[in-house]
């Protein structure tokens, strides 16, 4: 396996975004597979037919390449970053609030897209997206994207809620009962952005232009909103399957969630639906990134190429209820997805979604913003009732 050195600019998080030249190693040829690849992934992203026999995009890859896929599920971006910092993994399916931290921390390596034949099929909107493309260097291969939707019980809401206020402010729901104890919120600091997104619409005088770029006053307003929400929340969820159980058995009525949970609940005939309310939504665009010290780089590149196959992308889009990184997956008929299905999943709503990214102190919209390390400590305080 040959390598070349490539210089790039590192993204420094927590303090500023600044230029820093560093030697980076980029693979220039793919050799024999090492026999395995170890991947950190969001729940539902890597299926081998164990949950539903119709959804399996791992077995065929293993048979074709001889690379056994070992999966470690992670429920939050912070957990993904921690696992990659520990090492022992080759790849991670990272969202934007994790990917830039790993680039900054030199936990991931540049990707040679010339070694990925299917790169040309990737959605043009994603090829140089700022959450994985830094200073002219690719650090990830797009995988899947979608919104954080508002899931609601159709037994409680005869019509879709028009606003996120059903989870942020105290009120009686249409069934005449209070929302207190019947709503949930995401167990991650990036949920502060959901509060900021809500305030962008309802308190325009705050001047928020990006939910990830908040000055001290804007940030304080978001925390105040979340402290009020704390009195309503039954559970801060991070495990998708626990949230599914809560909506089945614990009387939950509304929560921010991923389309994945909505799909599984509806498939089980649970009376839920989802919507993007009038304030719009945050969302995620995930990229497969390779650890700086990956022990199985050849199998890793083979997997990244496999991950862009339109039939895999199509079936994953149906399974997760999200949008493929390869537009042909919606129309070429190689998988389960259809053009209508992609439209339903929001393929045309790309510009409406405020994609997760890591807050930094030196921000574009107003010069100085509250950095992510503050989000982490302060959100712990919110959950703890402080």
Q: How confident is the model at residue 24, as a pLDDT?
A: 57
β pairing state of 353-355 and 281-290:
parallel
- The CATH-assigned architecture of domain 3-143+284-352 is 3-Layer(aba) Sandwich (3.40)
pLDDT digits (tens, 9 = 90+) for 139-164: 999 999 999 999 999 999 999 999 99
What confidence score (pLDDT) does residue 26 get? 85
Fold match flag (3-143+284-352 vs 147-282+357-383): yes
Nearest Cα neighbor of 255 from 267, 239, 268 is 239
User: Quick one: pLDDT at residue 19?
Assistant: 35
Query: For the whole model, what pTM was predicted?
Result: 0.83
- pLDDT of residue 253 exceeding 90: yes
Q: Is pLDDT of 17 > 60?
A: no
Q: Do the beta carbons of residue 45 and residue 320 sit within 8 Å?
A: yes
- Using CA atoms in the order 87, 137, 360, 372, what is the torsion angle rounded to 10 degrees? -20
Residue 257's closest CA among 230, 232, 287, 236? Answer: 236
pLDDT confidence band for 302 (50 / 70 / 90): very high
Residue 284: pLDDT over 60: yes
The mean per-residue pLDDT over the stretch 109-133 comes to 96
pLDDT class of 10 with cuts at 50, 70, 90 = very low
Inform me whether the pLDDT recorded for 258 exceeds 80. Answer: yes
Q: State the average pLDDT over residues 209-220.
A: 97
pLDDT single digits (tens) 18-74: 333 333 578 899 999 999 999 999 999 999 999 999 999 999 999 999 999 999 999
Mean pLDDT computed over 349-365? 90
Q: Which residues contact 323 (CB under 8 A, 6 or more apart)?
A: 144, 145, 146, 317, 342, 345, 346, 347
The residue among 271, 233, 268, 240 whose CA lies nearest residue 156 is 271
Predicted confidence (pLDDT) at residue 134 exceeds the cutoff of 90? yes
Q: What's the CATH architecture for 147-282+357-383?
A: 3-Layer(aba) Sandwich (3.40)
Q: Where are the domains of the chain?
A: 3-143+284-352, 147-282+357-383
The Cβ of residue 272 has, within 10 Å, a number of other Cβ atoms equal to 27
**What's the rounded mean pLDDT across residues 368-384?**
95
What's the distance, CA 115 to chain centroid?
A: 25
pLDDT of residue 4: 27
């Amino acid at each position: 396996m040959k390598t070349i050195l490539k210089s790039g600019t590192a993204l420094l998080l927590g303090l500023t975004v600044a230029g820093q030249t560093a030697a980076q190693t980029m693979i220039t040829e793919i050799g024999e597979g090492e026999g395995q690849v170890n991947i950190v992934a969001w729940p539902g992203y890597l299926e081998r037919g164990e949950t539903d026999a119709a959804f399996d995009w791992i077995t065929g890859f293993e048979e074709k390449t001889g690379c056994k896929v070992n999966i470690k599920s992670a429920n939050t971006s912070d957990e993904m970053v921690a696992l990659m910092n520990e090492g022992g993994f080759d790849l991670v399916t990272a969202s934007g609030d994790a990917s830039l931290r790993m680039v900054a921390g030199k936990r991931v390596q540049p990707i040679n897209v010339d070694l990925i034949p299917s790169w040309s099929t990737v959605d043009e909107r994603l090829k140089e997206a700022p959450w994985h493309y830094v200073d002219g260097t690719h650090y990830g291969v797009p995988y899947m994207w979608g919104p954080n939707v508002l899931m609601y019980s159709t037994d409680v809401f005869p019509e879709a809620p028009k606003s996120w206020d059903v989870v942020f402010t105290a009120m009686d729901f249409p069934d005449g009962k209070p929302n207190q104890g019947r709503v949930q919120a995401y167990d991650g600091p990036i949920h502060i952005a959901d509060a900021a997104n809500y305030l962008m619409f309802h308190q325009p005088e705050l001047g928020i232009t990006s939910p990830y770029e908040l000055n001290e006053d804007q940030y304080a307003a978001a925390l105040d909103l979340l402290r009020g929400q704390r009195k309503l929340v039954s559970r801060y969820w991070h495990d998708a399957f626990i949230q599914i159980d809560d909506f089945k058995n614990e009387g939950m009525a509304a929560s921010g969630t991923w389309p994945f949970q909505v799909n599984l609940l509806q498939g089980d005939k649970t009376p839920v639906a989802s919507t993007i309310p009038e304030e719009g939504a945050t969302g995620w665009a995930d990229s497969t990134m390779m650890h700086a010290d990956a022990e199985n780089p050849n199998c890793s590149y083979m997997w990244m190429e496999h991950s862009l196959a339109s039939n895999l992308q199509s079936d994953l889009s149906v399974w997760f209820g999200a949008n493929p990184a390869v537009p042909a997956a919606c129309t070429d008929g190689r998988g389960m997805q259809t053009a209508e299905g992609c439209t339903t999943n929001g393929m045309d709503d790309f510009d409406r979604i405020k994609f997760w990214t890591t807050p930094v102190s030196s921000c574009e919209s107003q010069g100085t913003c509250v950095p992510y390390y503050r989000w982490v400590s302060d959100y712990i305080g919110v959950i703890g009732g402080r």
